[in-house]
């Protein structure tokens, strides 16, 4: 049985809620979870190298794509 989740009352983005995120150059250097994401149920912060405008988190598998 899973534990109940706390409600998101601060209008924070939920960490690891998506598997694909579009980012801009303002988000660089990129780390997962990103700024503004609720961290209580996430993994440790890890910096993501971007290769040809794409990166992938080794913890949660989230893919990041740099918008032009």
What's the average model confidence in pLDDT over 28-56? 89
Q: What is the pLDDT of residue 22?
A: 95
Higher pLDDT, 23 or 9: 23
Q: What is the pLDDT of residue 55?
A: 97
State yes or no: pLDDT of 49 exceeds 70.
yes
Say which range, 8-12, 47-51, 56-60, has the weakest mean pLDDT.
Answer: 8-12
For residue 29, give the nearest of 62, 61, 66 by alpha carbon.
66
For residue 15, give the nearest of 67, 51, 68, 59 by alpha carbon.
59
Q: What is the pLDDT of residue 41?
A: 72
Distance of CA 2 to the CA centre of its chain: 22
pTM beyond 0.75: the answer is no
Residue 18 is part of which domain span?
A: 14-66
Q: How many domains does the chain have?
A: 1
* 3 is a domain residue: no
* 19 is a domain residue: yes
């Amino acid at each position: 049985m899973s534990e109940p989740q706390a409600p998101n009352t601060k209008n924070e983005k939920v960490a690891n809620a998506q598997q694909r995120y579009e980012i801009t150059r303002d988000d660089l250097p990129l780390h997962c979870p990103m700024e503004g994401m609720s961290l209580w149920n996430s993994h440790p912060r890890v910096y993501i190298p971007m290769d040809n405008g794409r990166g992938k988190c080794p913890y949660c598998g989230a893919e990041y794509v740099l918008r032009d």
